[in-house]
Amino acid sequence: MILRVQSPEGTKRVECDGGDTTAHLYNKIQSAFNLPNALCFVVYKNKERSSKIPLQNTKRLSAYDFKHGDMLYLVLTDQVARVNNDAVEVKARSSPPPVRHSNAATAAPVAPVVEDEVDVFLSKQSGLVDRPRDDKLCHHGANAKCVHCAPLECYDEGYLREQKIKHLSFHSYLRKITGGLDKGKFAALENISCKLRPGCREHAPWPRGICTKCQPNALTLNRQVYRHVDSVTFENPSIVEHFLNFWRETMHQRIGFLYGRYEHHKDVPLGIRATVAAIYEPPQESTPDSIRLLSDEKQPLVDELASRLGLVRVGWIFTDLVPEDLQKGTVKHLRNIESCFLSAQECIMAGHFQNSHPNPCRLSPDGYFGSKFVTVCVTGDQENRVHMEGYQVSNQCMALVRDNCLVPTRDAPELGYVRESSNAQYVPDVFYKYTDSYGNEVTQLARPLPIEYLLVDVPVSTPKEPLFTFSAKHCFPVENRLLEGHIQDLGAVAAHLSRFTAANNGGQDAVLEAFSDFHLLLYLASQD
């Protein structure tokens, strides 16, 4: 019979007989995965790692009732210590740890995965969509259910189509792949790797040799059916208005980082919403058509301040505005289906930010999967009004960016280009599919690559009833704006406090409201 063995580096098959011992099975697994010895790993019968198969010369495989095609789960000894919490057993069984692939795509988590609060909350929800009783079709009592009023699964295609929900939420996608009779036995959230696995001893290193064991698989781009964040909501319109004031005064573009919270999005089954409370503008050099980010020594301080306020960095925002009529306040409609929604360079930037903010996930052997980091572009709409568009790039794009395989093209912003292999780097083949004029599905090499295959759109909005984590009455000057009237100093602090105390006769509420400003708190925290 053939048994399948799943590990953090992939799945392989070993051929065994019911009369073989477990020690014989360990030796075959060692050879299949090219491991140093049979003592540096442990094999489990189930995914929960509760049924261990011991390494013994007297124990037969027939005692475990294995069937043809059964899946086993391989865990390295450095992970065994975390599963068993038994230091004595680990010391007795472990050998010196082998040199393994250490890049982010295949590295095992070094600590128990701590998921975000919203993920823990959603994992405990049923996810069922309740339906009211239909008076015409339901002929049962008030406490009964039938096919016309029974709750639907959160990933039901008919319901999503009826509610005009374009993408599954990430937790709905998890319920879909872990549902059914097998309970997700064959589902795995594995991060894509586009790099050669180092340490292969069967040939000379690249470019003098390569084999199927160390060669990454070819990648066919697919439109991602789920998204990690289902909506971006700004607490109130003044957050974006203060950000756009820089463009209104200088006509130069601007970049900012979004700080807020991840919350349950009740309008989407098991959905997640990124609620933005403040925008931090890092040091940058900008012109009417370009932006260059500068090194920021205050970034750790910003993150620490946000953490103490209960906020995290949830995304980034940038402007792409070209005025059409200054008197009417209209802007040009530049981003559309005829041009591009995001350029290749912006997609690579978004992929870099998403790789820097991975999404913790307990169902992934790496401890993370994808990212909740969002991209918001402020540009002109079809009616030449300023509006916001939200995006994320797919997990496939994140892998291409992380492994330095994707570059922009010179003259076409809507096209990217996958590097060709060189003596310094091996790049796997990347393909995408499209339908030609005759209705045939055609597979094309991604040189060049239409960027829309990598995008996942995310709605952006503001609530009908504004929320205010920070005061919006009078704003302290924003950091890193080298403009008259926007300089942060002690005089600006005094002027800011006086506006509140004069309006409220110097009461305690006025002082509290005056200090409820993210930019003021950041300025005070940065002073020695």
pLDDT digits (tens, 9 = 90+) for 112-159: 788 999 999 999 998 888 888 888 888 888 888 888 888 888 888 888
Contact 243, 287 (CB under 8 A): no
The pLDDT assigned to 101 comes to 39
Q: pLDDT tens across 441-460, in order?
A: 899 999 999 999 999 999 99
pTM: 0.76
Peptide bond into 207 cis (omega under 30): yes
For residues 449 and 60, the model is more confident at 449
Tokens 């903010």 belong to 357
User: Percent of the chain scored above 90 by pLDDT?
Assistant: 45
Q: Report whether pLDDT(351) > 80.
A: yes
Q: Report whether pLDDT(382) > 80.
A: yes
The pLDDT assigned to 95 comes to 38
Question: pLDDT confidence of 70, banded at 50, 70, 90?
Answer: confident
Q: Report whether pLDDT(346) > 80.
A: yes
Question: pLDDT confidence of 417, banded at 50, 70, 90?
Answer: very high
Residue 526 CB partners (closer than 8 Å, separation 6+): 298, 301
Q: Report whether pLDDT(505) > 70.
A: no
The pLDDT assigned to 507 comes to 60
Contact 340, 414 (CB under 8 A): yes
**Weakest-pLDDT range from 66-80, 95-109, 148-162, 485-499:** 95-109
Mean pLDDT throughout 44-71? 82
Q: pLDDT tens across 165-201, in order?
A: 889 999 999 998 887 766 666 677 889 999 998 888 8
Residue 35 CB partners (closer than 8 Å, separation 6+): 29, 41, 98
Q: Report whether pLDDT(92) > 90.
A: no
What per-residue string of b and e applies to 174-198 under the rule 16 or more CB within 10 Å gives b? Answer: bbbeeeeeeebeebebbbbbbbbbe
For residues 513 and 93, the model is more confident at 513
Q: Which domains does the chain have, with CATH numbers?
A: 2-93 (3.10.20.90), 220-461 (3.40.140.10), 470-528 (no CATH)
Contact 193, 398 (CB under 8 A): no
Question: pLDDT confidence of 109, banded at 50, 70, 90?
Answer: very low
Q: Three-class SS of residue 1?
A: coil
CA 129-394-320 angle, to 5 degrees, is 105
Question: pLDDT confidence of 104, banded at 50, 70, 90?
Answer: very low
Mean pLDDT throughout 415-432? 92
Amino acid identity, position 156 = D
Contact 269, 328 (CB under 8 A): no
Dist CA 302 CA 297 (whole Å): 10
User: 330, 322, 314, 110: which is closest to 231 by C-alpha?
Assistant: 314
CA 438-444-448 angle, to 5 degrees, is 120
Q: Which pair of tokens denotes residue 519?
A: 């930019």
The pLDDT assigned to 30 comes to 85
